[in-house]
Amino acid sequence: DVKVTQSSRYLVKRTGEKVFLECVQDMDHENMFWYRQDPGLGLRLIYFSYDVKMKEKGDIPEGYSVSREKKERFSLILESASTNQTSMYLCASSYTRYSQPQHFGDGTRLSIL
Amino acid sequence: ELKVEQNPLFLSMQEGKNYTIYCNYSTTSDRLYWYRQDPGKSLESLFVLLSNGAVKQEGRLMASLDTKARLSTLHITAAVHDLSATYFCAVVAGDSNYQLIWGAGTKLIIKP
């Protein structure tokens, strides 16, 4: 089974802090994604990466950055956390091969105080 | 811009009943995914629909795709409590091989 592991299930940080969310997958997937999930808004893509050191902005990249130094690890960075970044963050990975679904981690519920 | 709309967004139903969740999308796409999310849990892939007329079934759930109408349906037959969850559809963005555009989700509650 595919395993996508997010480093924390729950995280509480303060406004202005730099926050790191880590994601590791064990299936040698080329693609990795960071989403945020808010009630009534579905999933919104923040950033994705299709290869090591490669990244593309999604729909809502402002206030976030990412890092992919190794194929299995994709990090999301909140440069200076703000209260409107309080949300559920989901990491996913997939093969590039046609039609393969994305596999998700358990999510990190992040609260910014 | 590709948009994906699901309806209803919330559905409460009795066990044993049938119902359908609808997923409309605004521009051409040839791949559609259905996912399930249990409360506090991650998303689980249910179905991948790849062509017009595609139909997939797993237990009491059946998904279909009409690419001409830009519509997918997720049909629930004789609902049971264990199917209570939030269901999402997602469509591949037109110029991408892997980026998905998501519906807002349908929260389904099935009462015993």
Residue B109 binned pLDDT confidence (cut-offs 50, 70, 90): very high
Predicted local distance difference test score (pLDDT) of residue B92: 85
For chain B, the 3-state helix, strand and coil shares in percent, each to the nearest 5, are 5, 55, 40
Please name the member of A50, A92, A99 whose beta carbon is closest to the beta carbon of B48: A99
**Quick check: B95 pLDDT over 70?**
no
Predicted local distance difference test score (pLDDT) of residue B53: 87
Closest Cα partner for A34 from A76, A70, A5, A4?
A: A76
Predicted local distance difference test score (pLDDT) of residue A42: 83
pLDDT tens-place string over residues A75-103: 999 999 999 999 999 999 998 766 678 99
Mean predicted confidence (pLDDT) in A3-19:
95
Closest Cα partner for B99 from A37, A108, A76, A56?
A: A56
Q: Among A17-31, A47-61, B10-24, B84-98, where is mean pLDDT lowest?
A: B84-98
Distance of CA A113 to the CA centre of its chain: 20
The whole-angstrom separation of Cα A91 and Cα A75 is 9
The whole-angstrom separation of Cα B112 and Cα B104 is 26
Q: Tell me whether residues A42 and B103 touch, CB distance under 8 A.
A: yes
Contacts of A2 in chain B (CB under 8 A): none
pLDDT tens-place string over residues B24-75: 999 888 789 999 999 888 899 999 998 888 999 999 999 999 999 999 999 9
CB B86 within 8 A of CB B36: yes
Contacts of A99 in chain B (CB under 8 A): 31, 48, 50
pLDDT tens-place string over residues A18-62: 999 999 999 999 999 999 999 878 899 999 999 999 999 998 999
